[in-house]
């Protein structure tokens, strides 16, 4: 088995630590799976990239002959390789899948839309609506996590990886302040050694890209 | 095997035909799976509902002892029961999963955010940004579908069900006019007998709810 995670060759400062290859790196590290990193050009993006990823996004996973995009599909695929990410019981497996979908389909959309519309801009009526939608979800998620360390099976799974990664995007903006259970959960998940290693590795990737750029100037 | 799809007991006119229980009904009908419909109260929503669906959403699927939420997880679960929704090859199965995630995580979020912020409101700078984001995705999806009838395996799968259902929300608003391949694709998918039956059944569900309300007044 040979795993390759494809990410961008460079990004500016603000998305560093949040580019979604981190989800794949984190999953591999929790599961003890070796992987290599490949890159596609960020600016301009390439037709070769579009050919394997129709939305010009990253990450892309290659697993021997299989090429897969969408971080949710990638993490679910990696989870299928390791009990560290996926419990054994049929019901628990279905619930891990459910929470990966919940992260990406119910929790991330309001967060991503709010971040996207507010970035660099003054607030308007639409950002206020998105802010309300986002906080409705965060409050509901906080209630789920009250008195509970993990989402499924009483232990860390790929469900926690995805939910925590989706929510941490706004942790630094103070948007989690009203949610003690959610704040503690994100802190706990991002303190895991596999997360820290994946995060540091992604940061080092961009720093190396800076050096390569400097050499070319 | 006994399947129950839970939806709301009533909704106003505008979401009729778009409540996401349709995805589960459509999947069951493509697969020839029998199901029953149960309801939870729409207004006010109940604590009993929140107990099985932490975001107060529908649909919820019950499959014997298993309770599952998130339409993506539900459709993927149902797809596992039938070759009508899921091809047999390992690579094709992974690609169906990939496209279900793409529908819900890359295509639906800008559509949902744009619809959410524009509904009933004047346009502002944020809705324009969301509109641009949505059209970037629609254009990319149109390119994928050019010269291709289905997303995976050259035949209908759960991937088409989810992508078509996500996009049809804005078909009536004229937002697909610039995308001939995508328009033809949505028309083709929503002309399928299983879609029509699921759609008509959902509309009939709300009409019956209207009658029950009228009786109670």
The reply to whether B4 touches chain A by the CB within 8 Å rule is no
Higher per-residue pLDDT: B120 or B47? B47
Alpha carbon distance A37, B180 (integer Å): 37
CB contact under 8 A, A73 and B113: no
Which residues of chain B are within 8 Å of residue A71 when distances are taken between CB atoms? Answer: 101, 105
ipTM above 0.95, yes or no: yes
Name beta bridge partners: B212: none
Mean pLDDT of B96-109: 98
A172's tokens: 């630094």
Interface mutation vs chain B, best among A23, A63, A72, A157, most B CBs within 10 Å: A72
Residue-level pLDDT at B72 = 98
Residues of A in contact with B105 (CB under 8 A): 70-72, 104-105, 108
In this complex, is the C-beta atom of B181 within 8 Å of any C-beta atom belonging to chain A?
no
Distance, CA of B129 to chain centre: 24
How many other CB atoms are there within 10 angstroms of residue B34's CB atom? 9
| DSSP reduced 3-state for A23 | helix
Binned at pLDDT 50, 70 and 90, residue A215 comes out as confident
Residues of A in contact with B148 (CB under 8 A): none
Number of Cα atoms under 13 Å in the Cβ half of residue B50: 10
Q: Provide the whole-model pTM.
A: 0.97
Among A59, A77, A91, A113, pick the best mutation site for testing chain B contact (most B Cβ within 10 A). A113
What pLDDT is stored for residue B141 in this prediction?
A: 98
* Chain B residues touching A89 at Cβ < 8 A: none
Specify the pLDDT at position B1.
66
């Amino acid at each position: 088995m040979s795993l390759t995670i494809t990410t961008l060759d460079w990004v500016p400062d603000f998305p560093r630590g949040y580019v979604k290859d981190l989800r794949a790196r984190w999953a591999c590290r929790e599961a003890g799976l070796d992987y290599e990193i490949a890159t596609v050009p960020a600016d301009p993006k390439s037709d070769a990239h579009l050919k394997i990823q129709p939305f010009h996004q990253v990450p892309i996973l290659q697993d021997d002959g299989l090429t897969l995009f969408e971080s949710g599909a990638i993490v679910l695929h990696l989870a299928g390789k390791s009990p560290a990410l996926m419990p054994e019981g049929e019901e628990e497996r279905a619930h891990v899948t459910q929470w990966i979908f919940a992260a990406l389909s119910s929790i991330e959309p309001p967060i991503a839309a709010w971040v996207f519309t507010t970035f660099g801009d003054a607030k308007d009526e639409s950002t206020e609506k998105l802010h309300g939608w986002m906080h409705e979800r965060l409050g509901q998620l906080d209630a789920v996590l009250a008195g509970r360390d993990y989402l499924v099976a009483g232990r860390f799974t790929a469900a926690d990886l995805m939910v925590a990664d989706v929510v941490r995007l706004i942790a630094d903006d103070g948007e989690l302040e009203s949610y003690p259970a959610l704040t503690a959960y994100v802190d706990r998940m991002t303190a895991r050694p596999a997360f820290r290693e994946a995060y540091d590795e992604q940061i080092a990737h961009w720093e190396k890209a800076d050096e390569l750029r400097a050499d070319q100037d």
